[in-house]
Chains A and B, each alone.
Chain A
Amino acid sequence: GENVEQHPSTLSVQEGDSAVIKCTYSDSASNYFPWYKQELGKRPQLIIDIRSNVGEKKDQRIAVTLNKTAKHFSLHITETQPEDSAVYFCAASTGGTSYGKLTFGQGTILTVHP
């Protein structure tokens, strides 16, 4: 089955700096890659996603890049703010007969210091 590795496990930045979180996946059939933000005790919230027919997607301060050849994708957050502090999860899905089930990375604890 699919395996998703996420790095780093913790990331500490100063407010205004950029943050980058990287994920690799094992199944070349994976075609959908969402990123979720989860605050303590809350639900994961979809912040951005990318499909395999696109190499990059941007939404204001957040961007995701995908390299299908290398089987890795990354989340980029620019001009970080303290409210960006949370746990971020990447995930991958092969869709099709698996009904789009997601395999999650281990998570990255992002701390933005004011």
Chain B
Amino acid sequence: GAVVSQHPSRVICKSGTSVKIECRSLDFQATTMFWYRQFPKQSLMLMATSNEGSKATYEQGVEKDKFLINHASLTLSTLTVTSAHPEDSSFYICSAKYPGKGDTQYFGPGTRLTVL
């Protein structure tokens, strides 16, 4: 149990285009999901908290118009990087809170985004 998937695992795009990343909880319903960014050899930086049916809560310094988050169902949250630029290249990881286990979070496998 507690499986979280992400799609795609890798994506390469041209500068100026938009990229959508999906995060799914496969065997449980997650009212809350989180999106992180991780640079090489660094820690996980929380970008935003995604709650089903409501607007995402962004961390300070994260542009909400650039990183669009939609949590339309209890098993799916999406992150869209709009007008991507090379500096947006990174490893993006989502996590989902497991119901009934307090604040326990399980992570997806991550998406490697490369913007050319």
A residues at B contact (CB < 8 Å)? 32, 34, 36, 41-46, 49, 51, 89, 93, 95, 98-107
Contacts and interface: CB of A to CB of B under 8 A. Distances in A.
A95 B102 contact: yes
A93 B44 contact: no
Interface string B98-116: 0000111111111010000
A36 B106 CA distance: 10
A49 B98 CA distance: 14
Contacts, number: 60
24 contacts: A34-B104, A36-B107, A41-B110, A42-B110, A43-B4, A43-B108, A43-B110, A44-B44, A44-B107, A93-B103, A95-B102, A95-B103, A98-B49, A99-B32, A99-B57, A100-B103, A100-B105, A101-B46, A102-B44, A102-B103, A102-B105, A104-B45, A105-B43, A106-B42
* Chain B interface, >50% SS class: strand
Given A104-B43, A105-B43, A44 B93 contact: yes
Interface of B: 4, 32, 34, 42-46, 49, 51, 57, 93, 95, 97, 102-110, 112
Contacts of B32: 99-100
Contacts of A102: 34, 44, 46, 95, 103, 105
A43 B44 contact: no
B46 A43 contact: no
Contacts of A45: 107
Nearest to B98: A46
B44 A104 contact: yes
Contacts of A105: 43
B52 to A, nearest CB: 11
A11 B26 CA distance: 35
